[in-house]
Amino acid sequence: MLLVVDVGNTQTHFGTFEGTELVQHWRYATVREQTADELGAKLSNLLGLRGLSFADLEASAVSSTVPQLGAEWRQAGERYLGHETLVVGPGIRTGMPIRYENPREIGADRLVNAVAAFDRIGEACVVVDFGTAITFDPVSHDGEYLGGVIAPGVEISLEALASRAAALPKIDLVAPRTLIGKTTVDAIRSGVVYGFAGLVDAIVRRLRDELGAETATIATGGLAGAIVPFTEEIDEMDDFLTLTGLRLIWERN
């Protein structure tokens, strides 16, 4: 069984594969200060809820946007899983040419998403990842990682609004009841959901102007479900895209 771990700035999403099938997955809040031992305990507890143990894990792969946690996951693999964990970074074979001025600047999750999307679609595509930031990662028809677009994320914007405007509360992100809010909460909710949907659509249209009108778009990330239903340019949503990309990269290495 293969363990795959996507460490984001806000959440960590991990799962287990048997062959090409994702059989289990979990999410928990990322804690940047966690040590290898704490990660091992967290992993053991969550595996135990599904009747699994370290002995079931034959290999592991990790992508991390938090550099120190990538190193801690590598140590946890050596200490508790008894094997070397593949951590996505420079020198790892992805099978994807990178057209970026400094490839070391690319977030591991962005590259992993691009690999998974192109493997699935086989032609030009764009991944829109709704995480701490909203990232747009285009891949060419020839399977090249072209670069990206990065915008502030939904939760960052909500927190900034609540902290900088004394009279505005922090809200739960659910679907707006109407476009024109009749309460302050409804007005914020409408502005955030429709505003970010509009941002996504506008950037995707511009990317399609460069890549071709038929360029496919895939959304992923923890907050995709809140925004994507209100967009017009997203073709499909896949909550497990990053985990699938980690499996593919592990196979290629």
Residue 159, pLDDT > 90, answer no
Q: What is the pTM of this model?
A: 0.90
DSSP 151-214: EE-HHHHHHHHHHH-TT---------S-SS-SSHHHHHHHHHHHHHHHHHHHHHHHHHHHH-TT
Residue 5, pLDDT > 90, answer yes
State the Cα angle at 252 between 247 and 253, rounded to 5°: 100
Please give the single-letter amino acid code of residue 223: L
Residue 222, pLDDT > 90, answer no
Q: Check residues 128 and 105 and name the one with the higher pLDDT.
A: 128
d(C-alpha 80, C-alpha 37), whole Å? 9
d(C-alpha 2, C-alpha 146), whole Å? 29
| Residue 252 token pair | 């290629």
Q: Which of 128, 148, 131, 130 is nearest to 140 (CA)?
A: 148
pLDDT reported for residue 110: 94
In this predicted structure, which of 15-24, 57-66, 123-132, 183-192 has the lowest mean pLDDT? 183-192
Residue partners of 148: CB distance under 8 A and separation at least 6: 106, 110, 135, 136, 137, 138
Average pLDDT, the chain: 93
Residue 250, pLDDT > 90, answer yes
The answer to whether 2-87 and 103-242 have equal CATH topology is yes
Residue 174, pLDDT > 90, answer no
Q: What is the mean pLDDT of residues 67-80?
A: 94
Distances, alpha carbon 238 to alpha carbons 106, 135, 140, 164, 172, in Å: 21, 15, 20, 34, 22
pLDDT reported for residue 190: 92
CATH of region 103-242, choose from 3.40.50.2300, 3.30.300.30, 3.30.420.40, 3.20.20.300: 3.30.420.40
Q: Where are the domains of the chain?
A: 2-87, 103-242
pLDDT reported for residue 129: 97
Q: Which residues are catalytic?
A: 109
Residue 173, pLDDT > 90, answer no
Residue 167, pLDDT > 80, answer no
Q: Which phi and psi (to 5°) does residue 174 adopt?
A: -130, 170
Residue 162, pLDDT > 90, answer no
Architecture of domain 2-87: 2-Layer Sandwich (3.30)
